[in-house]
Amino acid sequence: MEVGMLVPDGRSASLEEVVSLLSPQRTPQLSPFSDSALALCAGLSQAIFRDREAARFPELLALAFWMRRAELVSLRSQFRATSSPELIAVPRGLVFHIPPSNVDTIFVYSWLLAVLAGNRNCIRMSSRRTPQSEILLRLLRDSLERADQHLQHNTIIVSYGHNPEITEALSKACDVRVIWGGDHTVGLIRSVPLAIHAREMVFPDRSSFAVIRAETYLSLSQQSQQKLAEQFYNDSYWFDQMACSSPKLLVWCGSGADTRHASQAFWAALDGCISTRGFAAPAAIHMKKLVFSCESILDLPVSEYYRSREVTVLTLDSLKNYARQHSGGGLFFTTRVDQLSDLVPFLARKDQTLTYFGFDTDELTTFAISLGGKAIDRMVPIGQALQFSRFWDGHDLLREFCRFVHIPPPTVDLEPQNDSRRT
């Protein structure tokens, strides 16, 4: 059974050979945050920054910025600050990553944290690759060739069709399986058994939204309103609004008069931002948005419909029956509430990221506590929706990729007994 081995050498290999190459006997593990692993990741960041093709894609530059050396050193300091003399962090072993096809950079974020933790890695990539993913593959292959010899075969990237036998063999060989994708994909792969000791992290379909306090927004200068629109654009239009953390719903907090004025100014500013950037979605995206909008108007309490070239806004009188289906491509639902706590009954476990403007930390903390864990894993300012972190979907990924050996001090200090029978 043949498997396309994209990294390290871009050739076809038998499944048996791939599994053998991933064994700990062939590729030794390193301790968390080894100098060689940090150098590999920082080197990949520099390679992305220097690459002319990568410079055309802001999501690749954002990835490179996140994994620059200064950020990795900070990450190492954070990790070590949470350790104790009694807990020894060691790698889990082999991490099998299954990334989605619609977010080209996510496999690098997942891989980076796993390799920094000292693990061996196998990444399964779709055959439907974008220019961004091809650039990353090329640069990662080059970076591994220049890495310390212990890391040169630490990562294998494979490509194969929907073959459950291959997935099962790699799943049984791994110690951690990471699945990024829709609910259907996660369900299919979860049906494939893991080794009895292995653990699994899944990142299924999620929904995200933005909240803006209308009064605070209206107090901004026109220049600041435009800047907020640009930040909202970055959250929404990368990856055609299909990233799990991209907002699909915008909630205004405040009185009816304030929210009407703020909403009109906000969408006008977003239109201006899109025009300045010269963004134009393909015709197929426009048709998909139009069909979805018509269906939503029939099914939901839509009171207003706004449409420009690249922005479609459906105003909801209430969030009743809002099911979180979405077409992507610059379509936004919007509604109004008096205060943040009014959203509590509506939110569900599927809701992942809240991007906000006009709220302080105390208000957000109170809101998070009131949710009682039923929803929301991230609350970040507008403009940071796609900014990846070691904390994702409620997991601390860096610690998830480690095992912790507990070595407590002795509880009783035993002294040798004096034996009076000895002379």
Predicted confidence (pLDDT) per residue in 143-202, tens digit: 999 998 889 889 999 999 888 999 999 999 999 999 998 898 899 999 999 999 999 999
> Residue 276's pLDDT band (boundaries 50, 70, 90)?
very high
Mean pLDDT in residue range 256-273 = 96
Q: Is residue 413 part of a domain?
A: no
* Shared domain check, 266 and 194: no
Q: Is residue 87 part of a domain?
A: yes
* Shared domain check, 218 and 139: no
Q: Is residue 305 part of a domain?
A: yes
DSSP characters over 238-278: GGGG-STTSEEEEEEES-HHHHHHHHHHHHHHHHHHHHHHT
Q: What is the pLDDT of residues 62-72, one digit of tens each?
A: 999 999 999 99
* Shared domain check, 143 and 25: yes
Say which residue, 26 or 113, is predicted with more confidence.
113
* Shared domain check, 211 and 201: no
Cβ-based neighbour number of residue 101 at 10 Å: 15
* Shared domain check, 295 and 182: no
Q: What is the pLDDT of residue 146?
A: 92
Q: Is residue 47 part of a domain?
A: yes
Mean pLDDT in residue range 320-339 = 93
* Shared domain check, 215 and 195: no
Q: Is residue 79 part of a domain?
A: yes
For the chain, the average pLDDT equals 92
Q: What is the pLDDT of residue 419?
A: 59
- Is residue 318 classed as helix, strand or coil in its secondary structure? coil
Q: What is the pLDDT of residue 207?
A: 95
- Which domain does 32 fall in, by range? 2-205+393-406
Q: Is the pLDDT of residue 256 over 60?
A: yes
Q: What is the pLDDT of residue 32?
A: 94
> Residue 120's pLDDT band (boundaries 50, 70, 90)?
very high
Q: What is the pLDDT of residue 274?
A: 96
Q: What is the pLDDT of residues 92-111, one digit of tens each?
A: 999 999 998 767 688 899 99
| Buried b / exposed e along 282-291 (16+ C-beta atoms within 10 A) | eeebbebbee
Q: How far is CA 354 from CA 244, 370, 371, 380, 395, in A?
A: 11, 15, 13, 6, 16
Q: Is residue 414 part of a domain?
A: no
Residues of the chain above pLDDT 90, percent: 79
Q: What is the pLDDT of residues 378-423, one digit of tens each?
A: 999 999 999 999 999 989 999 999 999 999 988 877 677 665 555 4
- How far apart are alpha carbons 93 and 106 in whole angstroms? 21
- How far apart are alpha carbons 144 and 217 in whole angstroms? 47
- Is residue 386 classed as helix, strand or coil in its secondary structure? coil
Mean pLDDT in residue range 120-149 = 92
* Shared domain check, 181 and 76: yes
CATH code for the domain of 16? 3.40.605.10
Q: What is the pTM of this model?
A: 0.88
DSSP state, residue 343: G
CATH code for the domain of 242? 3.40.309.10
* Shared domain check, 234 and 165: no
Q: Is residue 387 part of a domain?
A: no
Mean pLDDT in residue range 46-66 = 94
Q: What is the pLDDT of residue 365?
A: 97
Q: How many structural domains comprise the chain?
A: 2
Q: What is the pLDDT of residue 128?
A: 83
> Residue 203's pLDDT band (boundaries 50, 70, 90)?
very high
Q: Say if residue 87 is exposed, middle or buried (CB neighbours under 10 Å; 0-12, 13-18, 19+).
A: middle
Q: Is the pLDDT of residue 258 over 70?
A: yes
Q: Is the dihedral of CA 127, 131, 133, 139 positive or negative?
A: positive
* Shared domain check, 219 and 174: no
- Is residue 315 classed as helix, strand or coil in its secondary structure? strand
Q: Is the pLDDT of residue 25 over 90?
A: no
Kindly state the tokens that stand for 312: 């479609």
Mean pLDDT in residue range 277-305 = 93
Q: What is the pLDDT of residue 422?
A: 52
Q: Is residue 375 part of a domain?
A: yes
Judge contact between 117 and 197, C-beta under 8 A. no
Mean pLDDT in residue range 16-32 = 87
Contacts of 354 (CB under 8 A, 6+ apart): 208, 209, 210, 211, 376, 378, 379, 380
Q: What is the pLDDT of residue 232?
A: 98
Contacts of 223 (CB under 8 A, 6+ apart): none
* Shared domain check, 338 and 296: yes
* Shared domain check, 369 and 280: yes
* Shared domain check, 368 and 350: yes
Q: What is the pLDDT of residue 421?
A: 55
Q: What is the pLDDT of residues 346-386, one digit of tens each?
A: 999 999 999 999 999 999 999 999 999 999 999 999 999 99
Q: What is the pLDDT of residue 420?
A: 56
Q: Is the pLDDT of residue 330 over 90?
A: yes
Q: Is the pLDDT of residue 124 over 90?
A: yes
